Amino acid sequence: MSNAATSRSAPIAEGVARFTINSRLADRIEQVAVAGLNALLLARIWPHDLTAQSLLSLLLLVSEGAVLIFLLLRRPTDRISLKPGDWLLAAGGSFLPLLVSTGGAAISPTVGAALMLAGIAIHVGAKLSLNVSFGLVAANRGVKQAGLYTVVRHPMYAGYILTHIAFLLLQPSWWNLGIYGCNWVLLILRIRAEEKVLGMDERYRAFAARVPYRLIPGVY
């Protein structure tokens, strides 16, 4: 190889190395951020008595605790988005639901509890499928195609939406509706950001062609 070719390849190699270091650092920062969010969630919804609603809160805490375990055990990736906008979407989408509060009289306790259990079951099932590939910021940690991922491409988000609707039925208020409405907008934007990253993988493009719906079969 000529000296000229070597000199041209050196900046490219340095750029790749710098991108890898930055991606690994971003990966670690995300782990710390999720640990902090889990601590906030624990303080926010830890049940202080043994009501039916507090038991649902406990189930939610167990689900989110599994997320933290998967996150700490997961393998690092170089294919994580470094775009500030994607990080803001992940932060906002993860933090906003913590702002909901107690509301008025339940609209339908039975339906609310049933939807809450269904939502928790769906997003727990999705997390078990993701296992150590779980993350908040748009990244490619492997293409998951089994379990609930044969129905929609983002079953974990679908499960979260069900729990949000359930909470609105159990604790209705305009504040909670506004918080969840904003969160759903961020969720759609997060899906698009994630699919931009995943869409660079031929396996994901084939998966998307096979499973056309993102959240709701036949709708979106």
| Tens-place pLDDT, residues 12-25 | 334 433 434 466 67
Comparing CA positions, the residue from 158, 147, 166 lying closest to residue 123 is 158
162 exposed, middle or buried (CB, 10 Å; 0-12, 13-18, 19+)?
buried
Maximum mean pLDDT: which of 10-19, 57-66, 187-196:
187-196
Of the two residues 139 and 63, the one the predictor is more confident about is 139
Report the pLDDT value the prediction gives residue 9, as an integer from 0 to 100.
43
Report the pLDDT value the prediction gives residue 19, as an integer from 0 to 100.
39
Mean pLDDT (whole number) for 124-136: 76
Mean pLDDT (whole number) for 76-88: 81
- Residue 80 confidence class, pLDDT cut points 50, 70, 90: confident
Q: Are 72 and 34 in contact (CB under 8 A)?
A: no
Q: Are 207 and 143 in contact (CB under 8 A)?
A: yes
Mean pLDDT (whole number) for 2-15: 43
Q: Would you give the end-to-end CA distance of the chain in angstroms?
A: 52
Q: What domains are defined for the chain?
A: 3-210 (1.20.120)
